[in-house]
Amino acid sequence: MRAAFELPHPCVPVAGEDLGFPVRRLWCVGRNYAEHAREMGFTDREPPFFFAKPADAVVPGGGPVAYPPQTANLHHEIELVIAVGKGGRALSAAQAAGHVFGLAVGLDLTRRDLQAAFKAKGQPWEMAKAFDHSAPIGGIHRLGAGGLPERAGIWLQVNGVERQRSDIAQMIWNVPEILAHLSAFVDLAPGDLVFTGTPEGVGPLQRGDRLRGGIDGLGELAVEIV
């Protein structure tokens, strides 16, 4: 069957290579750092839960991002992102580690006021998360011979002032565990991106704000809210 029209396919640069990583699906883990869970009003350790963003929410390499409509409280969330390079389902954590293509720095932008309003009414909160340009991401770094890092500093500055700082070792669920849990619900496939949650320190953004964040060994990501 011939398509009625062509659609652009989102693609994220592979760091240090003349290659792009085509994006299939984009999943996000909620409340995966204990301190962030506490600042959002939750205290118990719970199984990971997931929400989705559209593939074209990615902003490859960062850069200018328009302040989205229908919100007066846009928040930043710096995150480690998993790029899946091998498909699978119902994986164990040990198996899942072998399905990682690489890792990257990402931002999960959130309409916090809409999220709170939807939650209060018991309604889905996709429109608080799954909006245009809500997932800036840096270059994807291929997993090296050393395998998945157990520790790496993660941080974010807004206008030169530090807002978030932690270590990926503080994640409640690590990378293989996240993929194992996700693969129990959906089939993983090459091209999937998984945002792994944010540490404490999330906060509001204004037009004109300049964000710079990074993860040790994975470079930096710069975004300007315009």
- Is the separation of the CB atoms in 106 and 77 below 8 Å? no
Task: Please report, for residues 66, 82, 185, 209, the alpha-carbon distance to residue 178 in angstroms, rounded to integers and kept in the order given.
Answer: 30, 10, 11, 32
Q: For the segment 93-135, what is each residue's pLDDT rounded down to a tens digit?
A: 999 999 999 999 999 999 999 999 999 999 999 999 999 999 9
Q: Is the pLDDT of residue 19 over 80?
A: yes
Q: Is the pLDDT of residue 62 over 80?
A: yes
| CATH superfamily name and code, 11-225 | Fumarylacetoacetase-like, C-terminal domain (3.90.850.10)
Q: Helix %, strand %, coil % for the chain, to 5?
A: 20, 35, 45
pLDDT at res. 38: 64
Q: Is the pLDDT of residue 3 over 60?
A: yes
Q: What ranges do the domains of the chain cover? A: 11-225
pLDDT at res. 36: 56
